[in-house]
Amino acid sequence: MHRLPREVYILGSVSFLSDVASEMVYPLLPLFLTGVLGASAVAVGLIEGIAEATASLFKVVGGRLSDRAAARRPFLLLGYGLPALLRPVLALAQTPAHVLGFRFLDRMGKGLRTAPRDALIAEAAPKEAYGRAYGLHRAMDTLGATLGPFLAFALLPLLDFRGVFWASAIPAALATLLIVFFLREKPRPRLPLPPLRFSSLSPAYRRFLLVAAIATLGLASNAFLLLRLSDLGLNVAQTTLAYTAYNLLYALLAFPLGSLADRLGLRRMVMGGFAFHALAYLGFGLSSQPWHGVAWLLCYALYSAAFEGSSRAYLASITPPQEKASAIGLYHTVTGLLLLPAGLLFGLLWELLGPSWAFFTGSSLALLALGLFWLDPTQRRSYT
């Protein structure tokens, strides 16, 4: 088994540092908005809704621009550098509008960098190592997301909110500096780029986008998973500890499962991800004891580790080189935007029929996606 290219390790380190910076801020923002700036709960929801919609919409924009320019690195510099430069806006914020401005531009940066980054991983790594490459990236990304909140709550008593926001600029700046000084990409010729039309995409890609959309409609926000743990009797500290264990298990499993995907096949690992999604949600619906919920949350970490990396690797394997970032960006935009109706559907079922039926519905949609993907009649052409 050959060592992965240095670009994969660099991008993994960039994502690790960037997620440390982001997660130092994210869990404190609702408290800062309401407790310091006097914002209402409605304002908090509006700010976060605009932020996440912005990230989703700009993913296809970033991918398309990257393919048109036949370059990835400039979009990574912009996508990671913009949030780092904007940290003073947040640290000096005096009104909720200032926070909205930061979140909008921060998420715009995330949107612009996601598809070019995933495309660069595919271009740097050999095709037979796609699973390991994306698995390593997801592992380092999740480790950063686990460390960030710990640093935030450790520093909060010493520095208060604004001090933590200033401190978060350090890992954000380090992530950008890694790109400036260590990341290189091979020059690629600019090729004619046809208009991005759904009908012009490969049958395998369209099929995968369909099944991923169906599964996403049954996907609950992690907030609902934590709410289910609370509903089963865990207190705040226990729920936080369980969620930390979920993130750590996800991070630990992402690379080994990526390696396994390279040996078994990316398609099989994607199907395994759908199966774990369905199984975990069924378990959440049937749970009646706190330990049941914790056990199924850890099973859900298997879904995250199996699906997140292998789905990106599979996507990279079925898209042509000249449209790779565009296709990846379209996938992230579609699934990202579907999270809003998915959350509304899940919340509505929770309120009207109870949490069990909400999870049963999510499990059913994951099984439907698995069945459609398994029965795919299209020719699954791969591109290198």
CA dihedral 314, 318, 323, 326 (to 10 degrees): -40
Q: Specify whether the CB–CB gap between 185 and 73 falls below 8 A.
A: yes
State residue 228's pLDDT score: 85
The whole-chain average pLDDT of the chain stands at 87
> Is the confidence at residue 382, as pLDDT, over 60?
no
Angle between helices 130-167 and 6-25 (to 10 degrees): 40
Summarised one tens digit per residue, pLDDT across range 264-292 is: 888 999 999 999 999 999 999 999 898 99
Summarised one tens digit per residue, pLDDT across range 294-324 is: 999 999 988 888 898 898 889 888 887 777 8
Query: What gap in Å lies between CA 146 and CA 138, rounded to an integer?
Result: 12
Distance of CA 317 to the CA centre of its chain: 19
For residues 57-80, one letter each, b for 16 or more C-beta atoms within 10 angstroms of the residue's C-beta and e for the rest, the string is: ebbbbbbbbbbeebbbbebbebbb
Where do the structural domains in the chain lie, given as residue ranges? Answer: 1-184, 198-384
375 DSSP 8-state letter: T
The pair of three-digit structure tokens given for residue 288, joined into one six-digit string: 């009646």
Contacts of 235 (CB under 8 A, 6+ apart): none
The pair of three-digit structure tokens given for residue 177, joined into one six-digit string: 């500096």
Hunting for tokens 């705040």 — which residue is that? Answer: 236
Using alpha carbons, list the distances in angstroms from residue 336 to 59, 104, 263, 300.
9, 16, 29, 19
Same fold, 1-184 and 198-384: yes
State residue 199's pLDDT score: 65
> Is the confidence at residue 1, as pLDDT, over 70?
no
CATH code linked to domain 1-184:
1.20.1250.20
Using alpha carbons, list the distances in angstroms from residue 304 to 23, 143, 299.
18, 13, 9
CATH code linked to domain 198-384:
1.20.1250.20
Q: Residue range 15-33: average pLDDT? A: 88
Summarised one tens digit per residue, pLDDT across range 60-80 is: 899 888 888 888 999 999 999
State residue 381's pLDDT score: 46
Summarised one tens digit per residue, pLDDT across range 174-198 is: 999 999 999 988 877 776 666 666 6
Q: Specify whether the CB–CB gap between 210 and 145 falls below 8 A.
A: no
Tell me what percent of the residues of the chain surpass a pLDDT of 70: 93
Helix (H, G, I), strand (E, B) or coil at 184: coil
Tell me what percent of the residues of the chain surpass a pLDDT of 90: 40
> Is the confidence at residue 379, as pLDDT, over 50?
no
Range with lowest mean pLDDT among 181-195, 226-240, 370-384: 370-384
Query: What gap in Å lies between CA 43 and CA 251, rounded to an integer?
Result: 33
Contacts of 44 (CB under 8 A, 6+ apart): 29, 30, 33, 34
Please, where are the H alpha helices in 168-202? Answer: 169-182
Query: What gap in Å lies between CA 66 and CA 335, rounded to an integer?
Result: 20
Determine the length of the chain: 384
pTM of the model: 0.83
> Is the confidence at residue 49, as pLDDT, over 80?
no
State residue 233's pLDDT score: 87
pLDDT band at 363 (very low <50, low <70, confident <90, very high): very high
Summarised one tens digit per residue, pLDDT across range 83-125 is: 999 899 999 999 999 999 998 999 999 999 999 999 999 899 9
